[in-house]
Amino acid sequence: MGKIVFVFAGQGAQAPGMGKGFYESSEAARAVFDAADHIRPGTSRMCFDGTEEELQETRNTQPCLFTVEMAIAAALREAGIQADMTAGFSLGELSALTYAGVMSLEDGLQAVMKRGELMQEASLAHETSMAAIIKLSNDEIRTICSEFEHVYPVNFNCPGQTSVSGDAQEMLVFADRVKDAGGRARFLKVSGAFHSPYMKTAAEGFGAVLDGITLSEPSVPVYSNCTANPYTKEIRDTLVSQIDHPVQWEVIIRNMIAEGADTFVEIGPGKTLTGLIKRINGDVKLYNVAVPEDLEALVR
């Protein structure tokens, strides 16, 4: 029998109303939202009733999306569905680590709150943006990025799609250069040049945050964005590096499949990760759990 993987979405997956159905239908999920509201008052309200603009602010996006993902994971566990291994995309890696018991829910949310604040501060220090590039290979994108002083390939998502971060003005010229090369740039709904050198101050600050948190050995393998392999004992340093280094998503998925994974469940709003996984390997089983009806379908 193959192994089940939970994958947790990152920034950009947020959506108004997210998680409300689970709050209303699952006692375990409701407990997560109540715990989040105790630590960060108004989190549930923001998830359920916040506007798209409000949820797009990094300091709001990260704790809200983390809370929703942990609530859905709790509802899945309540229904008897658990993961054999896990991974998360960018912010989602904090959810994956918390799911695996590396941090408590309370410590995980506190860490995510500080991470969001630090990344927003770093974003405000420079005019930057991110874009997903399609129809070009990783090598072609690296070559084009090398023509610019402040543009970096940062998320290796799947064959034919890589995200790039950089200076906002250079990114506009970069997008034209991509078009000339036969590709297309789609700018993302995020507030900064994540996973690039622009996030160095955020990474340094986050290291200090983690110094105050107890980090335990994961109960199931958690695959690192930076190394594309399961976390080892160097959890703190690897998690700090994640903020200002590229996400190796395609390699993560291939490595998981090589270790027996054949079923992937995306936790949280949207279907971005399952879409990427389908392009990496079309033979695996894919599910999305964003609303209670998705969970019911999965149990059946």
- Is residue 20 domain-shared with residue 115, that is, in the same domain? yes
- Of the pLDDT bands very low, low, confident and very high (cuts 50, 70, 90), residue 268 is very high
- Is residue 204 domain-shared with residue 94, that is, in the same domain? yes
Instruction: Tell me if residue 90 is catalytic.
Output: yes
> What is the pLDDT averaged over residues 17-35?
97
CATH code of the domain in which 32 resides: 3.40.366.10
Q: Is the pLDDT of residue 178 over 70?
A: yes
Residue in 44, 90, 129, 196 annotated catalytic = 90
pLDDT in tens, 135-172: 999 999 999 999 999 999 999 999 999 999 999 999 99
> What is the pLDDT averaged over residues 46-74?
93
Other CB atoms within a 10 A radius of the CB of residue 229 amount to 15
* CB burial string 3-12: b at 16+ within 10 A, e below: bbbbbbbbbb
Say what the pLDDT of residue 300 is: 73
- Is residue 110 domain-shared with residue 246, that is, in the same domain? yes
Say what the pLDDT of residue 269 is: 92
- Is residue 280 domain-shared with residue 214, that is, in the same domain? yes
- Is residue 99 domain-shared with residue 157, that is, in the same domain? no
Say what the pLDDT of residue 1 is: 58
Say what the pLDDT of residue 57 is: 87
Going by their DSSP bridges, the two strands 222-223 and 85-88 should be labelled as parallel
Say what the pLDDT of residue 191 is: 73
Residue in 26, 123, 150, 195 annotated catalytic = 195
- Of the pLDDT bands very low, low, confident and very high (cuts 50, 70, 90), residue 299 is confident
- Is residue 171 domain-shared with residue 244, that is, in the same domain? no
- Is residue 120 domain-shared with residue 135, that is, in the same domain? no
Between 233 and 25, the higher pLDDT residue: 25
Strands (E), 71-217: 85-88, 128-134, 151-158, 161-167, 184-187
**Which of 68-77, 117-126, 223-232, 273-282 has the lowest average pLDDT?**
117-126
Instruction: Tell me if residue 126 is catalytic.
Output: no
Q: Is the pLDDT of residue 106 over 70?
A: yes
- Of the pLDDT bands very low, low, confident and very high (cuts 50, 70, 90), residue 13 is confident
Distance CA 296, CA 290 (A): 11
Q: Where a domain ends, among 187, 216, 237?
A: 187
Number of structural domains found in the chain: 2
- Is residue 137 domain-shared with residue 115, that is, in the same domain? no
The DSSP secondary structure of 171-186, one letter per residue, reads: HHHHHHHHHHTT-EEE
Task: Provide the whole-model pTM.
Answer: 0.93
List the domain range (segments joined by +) for residue 151.
128-187
Q: 212 in helix, strand or coil?
A: coil
Q: Tell me the helix, strand and coil percentages in the chain, rounded to 5.
A: 50, 15, 30
- Is residue 33 domain-shared with residue 179, that is, in the same domain? no
Distances (CA, A) of 226 to 36, 56, 76, 235, 251: 28, 25, 27, 11, 10
The average confidence (pLDDT) of the chain is 94
Q: Is the pLDDT of residue 62 over 80?
A: yes
Q: 156 in helix, strand or coil?
A: strand
- Is residue 45 domain-shared with residue 102, that is, in the same domain? yes
Going by their DSSP bridges, the two strands 151-158 and 85-88 should be labelled as unpaired
